Amino acid sequence: MRIFKKRGPVPEIEVSDPDHKKKLAAYSTLGIMFPASIAIGLFIGVVLDDLLGTNPVLTIIFTLYGLAAGFYNFFKVINKYEKRK
C-alpha cells in the first residue's frame, strides 16, 4: 500500500516580475526585523527599569513600542512591494 501519491516532475516557475529577487530579499528580512525590533524594545525597557527602579513598567512599555515598530516595518515592506488592485 502506497501512502504518498507518485508525482511527476516539479514544474518550473515562470517569473514574470523582473525584480523578484529584490522582493524575495525584502520579504526574507521580515523574519529578522520583526523579532529584532521587539528585542531592542525589550532591552531598552529592561535597562531603563534597572536605572530608574521602575520594574516592569518601562519594560512593558518599550516592548509594546518594539512590537508596534515591528508591525510598522512589516507593513512598510509589504506595501512597498505589493501593488494594490
Q: What is the structure's pLDDT at 83?
A: 67
How many domains does the chain fold into? Answer: 1
The answer to whether position 34 is within a domain reads: no
Measured in degrees and rounded to the nearest 5, phi and psi for residue 77 equal -70, -45
The answer to whether position 60 is within a domain reads: yes
Please provide the DSSP assignment of 6-21 as one string: P--PPPPPP---TTHH
Residues of the domain holding 57: 39-78
The answer to whether position 23 is within a domain reads: no
The answer to whether position 44 is within a domain reads: yes
Q: What is the structure's pLDDT at 18?
A: 67
The answer to whether position 63 is within a domain reads: yes
The answer to whether position 25 is within a domain reads: no
Helices marked H in 1-85: 20-52, 57-81
pLDDT digit string (tens) for 9-42?
A: 655 555 666 677 788 888 888 889 999 999 999 9
The answer to whether position 32 is within a domain reads: no
